Structures are given as structure tokens and as C-alpha cells.
Structure 1
């Protein structure tokens, strides 16, 4: 399970942001991963999967092209409750391949659907440049491509975009409230982190109950924890201010994860367009 909230504003006032992203990654604690870093070769920022045969896959990341003055962001969300096939490609390379792709976002989406088969996923993408900011959504179950222009507050999770989970709907409203009421960057980051760490259950949720009947109550909170084996292990926040300063903030469980003694570590990577 994962969740991502996005606020876009192409024409921010002083103290406002062009782009705000807050996201959680939920995964088994035993799955090895590397914390977020900037790869100097590819200019990609984000954590990496270290599981055997899936090394360097990504669940979330961004790439800044300083020459073209563009930022590209991608987040992969599995679709819960759909049939899984072992004879398909790994979804973990969808994000890094998108970040490195030369074609447009829509062209990448179309080529992805045409040339490869994957288990059910949602892909959330953002394109930011000096003229505009756009959010794109792709799902292969069912096949759907959406584009959102201009100023938007959006939330995405592990179900089709037209059937959002209750925690996505409720979380989007709380996300918007944090953005509107925060008076400084630190207050904004603290408020977003508090939201991402919320263990309040968002029930009832018939859609989640249908998709995950055995664990829907535990999965109904934004911050997930199930029997010390699975749960939210990484929080990511991306901020792009009016002056095009970019900050990638990550708060993540230090690996290897000991469920009886979890240690959190954070890192900040800064850049500009």
C-alpha cells in the first residue's frame, strides 16, 4: 500500500509553493531498501529497492534537468486486491524508466501499455517547468489516463482514481488544510509529516474492505502497521517554492529494520531549477 497527496500552483504568491508532494511507502519490513540519495549520473533523487532480482527499482523519485529547467516526478502505487501473475515484468522499474525517458509523459504511458505487461498498478507523474505544472495518472487496471492542469489538490492510493479509498479522500482534505494554514516551511513540513504518521482509521470503507477483507481495518489508516512485519516505512515530502528552490525530504526506517526497536532517520536533498 502507498498513498500520495499533491498540491500544484502554477502562479504562487510570496511564501507559497509551486508544488507540494507528501507520500508514504508501505512495504514488508524484511524487504531491503536504500534510503533516498542523488545519483550524480542520472540526476535522479529517491530511494532504491535492494531485493534480489529487483535491485534499483523505485517506488518514488524525481529528476531535475537544469539545462531544460524541468522537474519530473513519478510515484508507483500497486492496485490492491487484483490478481497477480508471476510471469510479468517487475513494476519497480516503471518509475526510474519514466524519469529517464526522453518522450513526453503521455507517450511514455502509451508505450508502457503497448510494450510490456505488469501486475496491476497506478502511476502518478508530475511535469513542472517554467510555464506550467501538470499531473498525470495512469492505471492499467482498468486502463485509464488522466491529466490535471493548473491549481489542484489531489490524492491517490491503491484503487482506481474514480473509486478512491476513504483514507485518500479524508487525507486529501487534511493535506489541503495543512497547506493552507502553515505559516512557514518548517510548520508545513511538520504538518505534512504528522499527516503521514496518522494512525487514525478511516472507516467505513467498502472499497478497501472488498479489496483487502482480511486486513482492511489496519490498512484504513494513512500510517499502516501490521503485526510488526508490514507497514509504513518511508515518508517523502517534495517542495518547490515560488523561486524554484527544490527540497526532497525523506524520513525512513533505518535498515535492517528491527520491529522491536525501530530507528528513524531523515535526509534532505536540495536543488533548484
Structure 2
């Protein structure tokens, strides 16, 4: 993912609410969210080039999502795909904090990233650039291609939008409107992440349309206090138009 806003233990009925956009090169093949045949407890989209994923859920109530950290100087030649970390987090049998600490020990092998992991009782983030694992208190958070809650314009706008929408949920159309906002940030408010000014402009909206690159899918995850979980995913073509739409619903079951 490249933009994630989430409400953790901040809504009376839904302890976990996640709204997210995945941005990627348009020629990189991917499959919409589905139950994986080679890992039947995982519900996620799939990167068909490297085999991993950007965000997923498990039947046992685990959640994981990853964003890249945008800094060309931190490129790691020959590094393994960061999408594998999401699968490892979903399949790990320890709690969220122990899982993040376990993955932190090997994080230097990958290009820079941020990884969110939840186990239904706790939620935390691993920031590979600092090596820090941070467990989150109840609240509303945002994560893009820098550290958690770095106040980039699109992150602030989308996080505040989710906060304002909480009393209206469930309202998929309103959440999707937040994720589909293509308004670029004014130049004085653009971050400086090591790419050109032209690319900073293209990457500044919540919903990206750039040459050969853009928002490929938008996702909404909602889990209620009884373990009923719903994933609604919209997939976009190279022009930013709807290509496909899927909804999955299931009830969390405790691990055997």
C-alpha cells in the first residue's frame, strides 16, 4: 500500500477500520483479493510478479499491511520482495508485538518499509528505517511512504476525513470518495523525498494518476466486535477507471 488510514479501537461497533490505496507500476500484474489456494487462511490481493501481497487478513483475525518508504538513496540491490513480509506476518503464530519484533531482526535485508500487524487484540507498526516497533494506543492513524503519521498533505486530509466519517459508518461510498481524491497538494506543502518536483506533484494526491504508475486498488476493511469481517476492494485500470470490485465477508475463527 501507499496510503493507509485506520481507526483502531476508536469506533463503538468496529474496533478495526482500514481504508487504503495501493499504488504501483501499471505493468506489474496483480490479482484482486481472494482466498489463497497455497495458504488457505489468507485473504489478500496478490502480486503476480513476486508472489507476495500489500495487505491481507487471516481467518484467525490477523491483519497486516505494508507501505514502501520513499527514499531512492535507500535502494537495496537484489533485495527480496517486501510483499513476503505481509504473508509472514499473517502466518506467524505469535502475537502482533512478538511478530513485529521477529520480523524486525531481518528487516535490513529489505528495501525500506513500514509494516502494520494486528492480531485482534493489539496493533503495531515496524518502521524498518529506525528498527523501531511501536504498539498503538486506540486512535486514528495514517501511514504513507514515510513514518507513521508523517504529516504529508494527503495523509492528513484522508485521516481527518476518516475521522469525520466514523459516525456514518458503514458507508462504503463515502470512504471510497476519500480514497479517490485526486487533488494534488500545493507546491509549498509537497514533501521532499528524493524524487523530482514533477513526481512529487504526481504522487501528492490520495489517488494517483502518473505516467506508467498509479493507484491500482482501493480497499476498505471493517471488523466488528463479534469478529465479523468485511473486505471491500475496488481495482482500477490505467486510466483510473473501475476494472473490478470484490467483497469478502467472514467470521474470525480462533486458531486450532
> What's the TM-score once normalised by structure 2's chain length?
0.88
Q: Secondary structure at the match of 2:191?
A: helix
CA contact (8 A) 1:156 1:164 kept: no
Over aligned residue pairs, what C-alpha RMSD do you find? 2.2
Q: Does 1:49 align with 2:47?
A: yes
Q: Does 1:225 align with 2:209?
A: yes
CA contact (8 A) 1:163 1:207 kept: no
> What's the TM-score once normalised by structure 1's chain length?
0.83
CA deviation after TM superposition for structure 1 residue 106, in Å: 2.4
CA deviation after TM superposition for structure 1 residue 80, in Å: 0.5
Task: Tell me which of 141, 153, 157 is aligned to 2:140.
Answer: 153
1:176-221, CA deviations, whole angstroms, 9 ceiling, x for partnerless residues? 11223x1x53xx1111101000011233565623443341111110
Write the distance in 2 (CA, Å) between the matches of 1:42 and 1:243.
22
CA deviation after TM superposition for structure 1 residue 89, in Å: 2.1
CA contact (8 A) 2:53 2:83 kept: yes
Which residue in the other structure is 2:248 paired with? 269
Task: Tell me which of 62, 78, 99 is aligned to 1:108.
Answer: 99
Count residues with an aligned counterpart.
Answer: 248
CA contact (8 A) 1:157 1:164 kept: no
Q: Secondary structure at the match of 1:199?
A: coil
CA contact (8 A) 2:232 2:248 kept: yes
Write the distance in 2 (CA, Å) between the matches of 1:20 and 1:28.
27
Which residue in the other structure is 1:118 paired with? 110
Distance 1:243 1:224, change over 3 A: same
Write the distance in 2 (CA, Å) between the matches of 1:119 and 1:26.
17
Runs of 5+ unmatched residues, structure 1: 66-70
- Higher mean displacement: 170-179 or 210-219: 210-219
Q: Secondary structure at the match of 2:150?
A: coil
CA deviation after TM superposition for structure 1 residue 139, in Å: 1.0
Q: Secondary structure at the match of 1:17?
A: coil
Task: Tell me which of 78, 81, 85 is aligned to 1:90.
Answer: 81
Distance 1:11 1:161, change over 3 A: closer
Write the distance in 2 (CA, Å) between the matches of 1:111 and 1:205.
40
Write the distance in 2 (CA, Å) between the matches of 1:62 and 1:173.
25
Write the distance in 2 (CA, Å) between the matches of 1:108 and 1:203.
39
Write the distance in 2 (CA, Å) between the matches of 1:190 and 1:20.
15
Which residue in the other structure is 2:29 paired with? 32
CA deviation after TM superposition for structure 1 residue 36, in Å: 0.6
Write the distance in 2 (CA, Å) between the matches of 1:231 and 1:192.
19
- Higher mean displacement: 158-167 or 262-271: 158-167
